Amino acid sequence: MLILVVGVGQHVGKTKVAEEIVKAFKEEGFAVTFSKPLSTLNAFYHAKAFERILEVGEFVSHDVLRVNELVKSEEGFEVLNPVFSLLLPIDLESVDWNTASLDSPIFQTAIIRVEKSTYVVEPVSRFVKSFFERIEGILRKREFSRVEIDEVDDLLLSGRELTNDILRKLKRKSEVLVVESSGNLAYPNEESLEADRVVIVTPGKYFVCDGERYRRAAEIAGRLMYLRCEDVVEILKPKRGYENIKNLIKMELLNH
């Protein structure tokens, strides 16, 4: 079974929901794997998660580290979290007070990891120096390539395409594969749209949708590369929400 966890809006608690799903199926004796194909971390706005990266010395999603403490998968982070982007704060003085740069995730991207390959996005002079210095310890331990800002989109696109094969392999090796989307993306990659069930997380309430129905709604919404979950649920208008995630799991997932 492939279960996709998506969120209406940013920071609505997808990882907590994924944890509860993993726990429930493990308690029932299933072999469970968790994957977050794409992830982005803003080092300034998510300081605790950034500290966790520095602690483990890897460019990897803190969500994957957190849930994998339950799963205890033998797969490497390059499989469980194949594409990772680290955003650092922009030094506005260094970019001549170009405040528009604060609205551009691409301009704020400092590090991209695609599987085992690490890329540093030039010029690094645009970042607040103290933040970049803190990741240099990780960079010194590995080989990396330098890319320009205008290469970032293509790099992320190629990385996303690679995640489809990775997810197919994980699905074949797992009885239950729980996939968490990134931010408010309707789906992290094409393969995740082959989900059997989709758990939709909204502020304070949770819904479950049949995977085929969710795919059809995504098709109607345009099936864009960066389609928002909000655009899909406006078409779906899911019914019967749960305020308790454990009730949802018991009634909608474990019984299917």
Asked if 86 and 108 touch (Cβ cutoff 8 Å), the reply is: no
Of 89, 159, 97, nearest in space to 124 by CA: 89
Predicted local distance difference test score (pLDDT) of residue 66: 93
Residue 249: CB atoms within 10 Å: 22
Q: How confident is the model at residue 151, as a pLDDT? A: 97
Q: What is the DSSP letter of 43?
A: T
Q: Residue 255: its pLDDT value, please? A: 81
Q: Show the DSSP H helices in the chain as ranges.
A: 14-27, 47-56, 62-71, 77-80, 105-108, 129-139, 152-173, 211-221, 229-236, 245-248
How far apart (Å, rounded) are the C-alpha atoms in residues 50 and 103? 20
pLDDT score for 112:
98
The total number of residues shown for the chain amounts to 256
pLDDT in the model for residue 164: 97
Three-state SS string over 70-123 comes to HHCCCCCHHHHCCEEEEECCECCCCCCCCHHHHHCHHHHEEEEEECCEEEEEEC
* pLDDT score, position 226: 87
Q: Is the separation of the CB atoms in 49 and 101 below 8 Å?
A: no
Please name the residue that has the structure tokens 């990266």.
53
pLDDT given for residue 228 in this prediction: 96
Element (H, E) at 6: strand 2-7
**Bond prior to 123 in cis (omega within 30° of 0):** yes
Torsion of CA 101, 123, 50, 167, to 10 degrees: 90
Spatial contact of 90 and 108, defined as CB atoms under 8 Å apart = yes
CB-side neighbour CA atoms (13 Å) of 176: 22
- Per-residue model confidence (pLDDT) at position 225: 81
Tokens read off for 97: 């007070």
- What are 55's two structure tokens? 């602690």
Taken in order of first residue, the domains within the chain and their CATH numbers are 1-31+175-256 (3.40.50), 38-59+75-154 (no CATH)
Tens-digit pLDDT string for the chain (256 aa): 999 999 998 889 999 999 999 999 999 999 999 999 999 999 999 999 999 999 999 999 999 999 999 999 989 999 999 999 999 999 999 999 999 999 999 999 999 999 999 999 999 999 999 999 999 999 999 999 999 999 999 999 999 999 999 999 999 999 999 999 999 999 999 999 999 999 999 999 999 999 999 999 999 999 888 899 999 999 999 998 999 999 999 999 998 6
Comparing C-alpha atoms, which of 149, 141, 57, 59 is closest to residue 107?
A: 149
